[in-house]
Structure 1
Amino acid sequence: MRKYITFIGLLACFVTSAQNINDVLRYSSENLQGSARFQAMGGAFGSLGGDLSALNINPAGSAVFNNGLFSISGTNYSRNTDSDYNGTLNNSKNNNFDINQVGGAFVFKSTDPDSKWRKLSLAVNYDVVQNFDDRITTSGRSNEAIDNYFLDFADGISVEPLRLQGNETIGEAYLDIGATNGLGFNGQQAFLGFQAGIIDPEADDDTSYFSNANYQTVDQDFRQTISGYNSKFTVNAATQYGDNFYFGASLNFHTIQYDRLNRYDESLTDTDTQELRTVAFDNLLVTEGTGFSLSLGAIAKVNDVIRVGASYQSPTWYRLTDNFSQGIDSNYPNKESSFNFFDLNYINIFDYQIKTPGKVTGSIAAVFGKSGLLSIDYGYQDMSNAELRPTSDSGFADENQFISESLAAVSSIRIGGEYRIQRVSLRAGYRYEQSPYESGNIVGDLNGISGGLGYNFGRSRLDLAVNRTEQDVLQYFFDTGINTPALLNNVNTNVTIGYTLNF
């Protein structure tokens, strides 16, 4: 039977492992999803509209519709990750298919010939703005082992609370240490390292520890399996004023599901005894939650060719719950013979909030009649304004300070074009997004190219898109202890088919 402990208001010390800058970045970014036409043109729809996924950029876009419509899209996600850890190369692949967009719009045209308000458009749309499904394998040889991880957390903690008290089980002791009147996450990590026999206290100071691992090199294997999504359900209203102006607003409702299992295994030869020492350490994080944001936008026709657009997306306010569990096993001789903690059944539950920064977008497009178009969007989002909440929590205050110092403003550029040959449309796009980090080292810039085509049947349209993005990322096995990262090169290739019906 699973055991649980709930933290309301959060432990400051847990921030170092769970609620941190990585969560802020994960839920602040929206990867290029949407309809096939939207993806094929790089998402550059800020001054165009005319596509349900364009509402993610500018909510005024639905007022461009001349009639009601229904749209649905399905995407095959293909991820390829090359990792380099101290010169050892690995490759991981992951494929999955999902219905990533579905929505519809109704257009009500004015019956008053004297009114400048020409029409009202009401739309609803569901988009998967981030698909988290991924598998990453990293392995290699290093001179840093997991004993450093446990030593970092144990420093300054008395050993007595890390011993089993009376008849309590290993799981009960783990949850008691993590409770609000206990030692929190730091204490739990020290407890696991001590109970697994990896670290022990110094004889003359029970708050200082030494490692039972004697080694020169260690073989490491790290496997990460991720599944889940960040979806957005948009309720939109937009209107056309005169012949040249469009205004719109949207309410956006997010749903988060994020599951991540990290499996770490290491083996080393003890330099004193020449015996093989092994450790297996698993960490499972399951996050669920909801979010809300709103957006405003406008589009203007400057003349028969040029259109400009501007939009604002408010911060997104997320309410999230983390379910976090750990499992560890080792063959160290100091480990108690009855030690058994490798089932991930003891769960810490944390409730918290994230506020992602707002975003502004400016757009310009040239529409060449029925022959084609060219569109450019520029987006700006200051990631240093992201926050973990409640801000009154001392641990979050420290982490928010770290976020404001580490992250920077992000500029993004999207360029898209379309050329029509009778019923056939040929499309291409380019996407660039700056690293959210001030230094740009941990996460690199993102570059993407896309292309596709569509066929217009008259009342309906069938579209195909291929979208490829590439980004370099540094992956650390843990937040502390093992300080050498693996270099990951992530290549995501999405193939999307969409169908649109006009009515």
Structure 2
Amino acid sequence: MKKIFTIAIATLAIASIQAQDINDALRYGQTDLNGTARFRAMGGAFGALGGDFSSLNVNPAGSVIFANNQISLTLSNFNIKNNSNYFGNKTSENNNSFDLNQAGAAFIFENGSAKSDWKKFAVAVNYENAKNLDNSIFSSGTNIGSSIDKYFLSYANGVPFGNIDNFYFDELYFNEQQAYLGYNSYIIDPNNSADPNNVDYYTNIAGGGNYYQENAIESTGYNGKLTFNASTQYKDKFSFGINLNSHFLDYKQSTSFFEANDNPKYAIGSTVDRVRFNNQLYTYGTGFSFNIGTIFKPTKEVRLGLAYESPTWYKLTDELSQQVVTSGYGLNPAQDNTLYSTQVTDPNVTMIFQPYKLQTPGKWTGSFAYIFGKRGLISVDYSMKDYNKMEYRPKNDYPNENKAMSNLLTSSSEVRVGTEYKIKKLSLRGGYRWEQSPYKNGNAIGDLTGYSGGLGYNFGSTKVDLAYAHAKRNYNLQFFSQGLVDPARIENITDNVTLTFVFEL
């Protein structure tokens, strides 16, 4: 059973033991196009329409568009396919999950006073999985010239040898822990083992050749969002709304990196030719955000919307456990150097890092919709999200991470288009979605393109909607944040089938 150890140290040391980076911030700062089947089928273009539970996430003024009290329940099937290309070798991995994706209730109150300009009021509560975090990625290929030893050396160089040789794993800062793992698994050694102040290290992995590498990632989790909404209608022309949102995040990631080489061995000393590096990360916490918005109807057919979504302010905690398994000739100096042996370095400790805060970017959305009487509609949303405003807090504890996000990330535009055509009680729907890369260099994460379609049937007090959505995005995946940073190119393809039941009360 693993020991649990909580890191609680002076503020000035937090930056040296924390491991958050830009990828973690983007994981929690980006959201999927989840929600009801009607919302998904129409590409999420609901900022000027309202009348749908998921539309409240775009523009909270939309709840007052409901004609009657109603309850909505949505089930979704997520299929994610990741095609990887690592040094020319192509692999593929699939993940499929089933989820209760949305549940909500809305209550409408008509103002019976003919003298009042405030015609309707609405209150609603809605739960959605803002981002499905279940995923599987496998990459493999032959790296020419770069080994896992670069990861451990990048942390070890500068660390006094006496620290990693004389202290227990759970008494060390994060960078020292990585040096500890590299040293005790015989991947690296100090230049002068007799000097506790030695800060220079060398590798025991033979260089000058090729390294076969595999990286497997398995993740599960959700980013849940509970919304409390209120809206009102003024003079049949204006609607105003506000959301108060509570966020719940639970994420588990298991990574296993493997490396093998048949490079020429050193004439003397130990040589490592097989490495397995396992990491188990668990991140959990809560957050808060709010939305405000308005919908304006200048004519019977035209609707305009404007909405603002605040940043989400998260408070998160990370738990991390690590293990290194190495094989080679003479790993233990006490053994004969001709003996092939295996070394397992498992501190048997789960590190619980000090809680930290993350601020995600806010978002502005402008919307236009045209209603063709009772037969159909077309709707367009344009959103802007400034990713370089993301930051970890307290700011002084994360200067490098915040600087990287400010320098590498940029404002990202998103366009959503949706249409609906009604044939009596049957509705046919279609949608398109394009989201710009959050990076200034769009090669790191490419643009997202998505298509969707669906149908719905109105039974009277009950409605059933079905949708299918497809999206694709390419991005670079580094196995480690430093040292060994050669990326795999991932083609991420998501297919989603959504079924929603709506009951009018």
What TM bracket, shorter-length normalisation? over 0.9
Q: Secondary structure at the match of 1:489?
A: strand
Taking the aligned partners of 2:409 and 2:5, their CA distance within structure 1 comes to: 33
Question: What residue number does 2:353 align with?
Answer: 349
2:204–2:272 contact (8 Å) kept in structure 1:
no
Question: What residue number does 1:168 align with?
Answer: none
Query: 1:411 is aligned with what amino acid?
Result: S
1:382–1:410 contact (8 Å) kept in structure 2:
yes
Question: What residue number does 1:169 align with?
Answer: none
1:386 aligns with 2:390: yes
Taking the aligned partners of 1:14 and 1:436, their CA distance within structure 2 comes to: 27
1:11 aligns with 2:6: no
Taking the aligned partners of 1:214 and 1:89, their CA distance within structure 2 comes to: 26
Comparing 307-316 with 206-215, greater Cα deviation is found at 206-215
User: Which of 266, 273, 281 matches 1:285?
Assistant: 281
Task: Pick closer, same or farther for the CA change 1:276–1:287 going to 2, 3 Å.
Answer: closer
User: Which of 158, 162, 165 matches 1:163?
Assistant: 165
User: Which of 204, 208, 228 matches 2:200?
Assistant: 208
Superposition TM-score, scaled by structure 2 size: 0.93
Taking the aligned partners of 1:108 and 1:336, their CA distance within structure 2 comes to: 80
Q: Secondary structure at the match of 2:354?
A: strand
Taking the aligned partners of 1:422 and 1:440, their CA distance within structure 2 comes to: 45
User: What per-residue deviation string (whole Å, max 9, x for no partner) do you get for residues 49-96 of structure 1?
Assistant: 000110000000001111100001100000111000001110000101
Superposition TM-score, scaled by structure 1 size: 0.94
Question: What residue number does 2:169 align with?
Answer: 174
Question: What residue number does 2:337 align with?
Answer: none
Taking the aligned partners of 1:267 and 1:448, their CA distance within structure 2 comes to: 39
Cα deviation for residue 440 of structure 1 reads 1.2
2:331–2:343 contact (8 Å) kept in structure 1:
no
2:414–2:434 contact (8 Å) kept in structure 1:
yes
Task: Pick closer, same or farther for the CA change 1:324–1:350 going to 2, 3 Å.
Answer: farther
Q: 1:65-464 residue pairs with structure 2 within 5 A? A: 65-142=66-143, 143-164=145-166, 173-177=168-172, 184-203=173-192, 206-215=198-207, 216-272=209-265, 277-332=273-328, 333-335=330-332, 340-342=344-346, 345-393=349-397, 396-464=398-466
1:377–1:413 contact (8 Å) kept in structure 2:
yes
Question: What residue number does 1:469 align with?
Answer: 471
Q: Secondary structure at the match of 2:61?
A: helix
User: Which of 492, 495, 501 matches 1:493?
Assistant: 495
Cα deviation for residue 161 of structure 1 reads 1.7
Cα deviation for residue 276 of structure 1 reads 7.3
Q: Secondary structure at the match of 2:485?
A: coil
Task: Pick closer, same or farther for the CA change 1:344–1:421 going to 2, 3 Å.
Answer: farther
1:59–1:297 contact (8 Å) kept in structure 2:
yes
Structure 1 unmatched ranges of 5 or more: 166-172, 178-183
Cα deviation for residue 340 of structure 1 reads 4.0
Comparing 28-37 with 207-216, greater Cα deviation is found at 207-216
Taking the aligned partners of 1:133 and 1:482, their CA distance within structure 2 comes to: 25
2:185–2:344 contact (8 Å) kept in structure 1:
no
Query: 1:124 is aligned with what amino acid?
Result: V
User: What per-residue deviation string (whole Å, max 9, x for no partner) do you get for residues 12-51 of structure 1?
Assistant: 1244xx3121121111111100000000000000000000
**Cα RMSD, aligned residues only:** 1.7
1:59–1:247 contact (8 Å) kept in structure 2:
yes
Q: Secondary structure at the match of 2:141?
A: strand
Task: Pick closer, same or farther for the CA change 1:271–1:86 going to 2, 3 Å.
Answer: same
1:196–1:335 contact (8 Å) kept in structure 2:
no
Task: Pick closer, same or farther for the CA change 1:370–1:316 going to 2, 3 Å.
Answer: same
1:196–1:336 contact (8 Å) kept in structure 2:
no
User: What per-residue deviation string (whole Å, max 9, x for no partner) do you get for residues 423-453 of structure 1?
Assistant: 1100000011110011112111111110000
2:256–2:277 contact (8 Å) kept in structure 1:
yes
Structure 2 unmatched ranges of 5 or more: 335-341
Query: 1:334 is aligned with what amino acid?
Result: L
Query: 1:211 is aligned with what amino acid?
Result: T
1:33–1:127 contact (8 Å) kept in structure 2:
yes
Q: Secondary structure at the match of 1:499?
A: strand
1:20–1:388 contact (8 Å) kept in structure 2:
no
Q: 1:29-68 residue pairs with structure 2 within 5 A? A: 29-68=30-69
Question: What residue number does 2:339 align with?
Answer: none
User: What per-residue deviation string (whole Å, max 9, x for no partner) do you get for residues 267-312 of structure 1?
Assistant: 1124126987211101111000001001100001110111000001
1:361–1:378 contact (8 Å) kept in structure 2:
yes
Taking the aligned partners of 1:458 and 1:350, their CA distance within structure 2 comes to: 53
2:326–2:343 contact (8 Å) kept in structure 1:
no
Taking the aligned partners of 1:289 and 1:198, their CA distance within structure 2 comes to: 35
Cα deviation for residue 2 of structure 1 reads 2.4
Q: Secondary structure at the match of 1:81?
A: strand
Taking the aligned partners of 2:106 and 2:407, their CA distance within structure 1 comes to: 43
Q: Secondary structure at the match of 1:404?
A: helix
User: What per-residue deviation string (whole Å, max 9, x for no partner) do you get for residues 360-412 of structure 1?
Assistant: 1000000111100000000011111111011132xx02211111111100111
Taking the aligned partners of 2:183 and 2:241, their CA distance within structure 1 comes to: 59
Cα deviation for residue 347 of structure 1 reads 2.2
Cα deviation for residue 188 of structure 1 reads 0.8
Comparing 37-46 with 152-161, greater Cα deviation is found at 152-161
Q: Secondary structure at the match of 1:194?
A: helix
Comparing 357-366 with 21-30, greater Cα deviation is found at 21-30
Comparing 193-202 with 331-340, greater Cα deviation is found at 331-340
User: What per-residue deviation string (whole Å, max 9, x for no partner) do you get for residues 305-356 of structure 1?
Assistant: 1100000111110010100111111124334789643475432423100011
2:3–2:348 contact (8 Å) kept in structure 1:
no
Comparing 252-261 with 111-120, greater Cα deviation is found at 111-120
Taking the aligned partners of 2:348 and 2:221, their CA distance within structure 1 comes to: 19
Query: 1:132 is aligned with what amino acid?
Result: L
Query: 1:175 is aligned with what amino acid?
Result: D
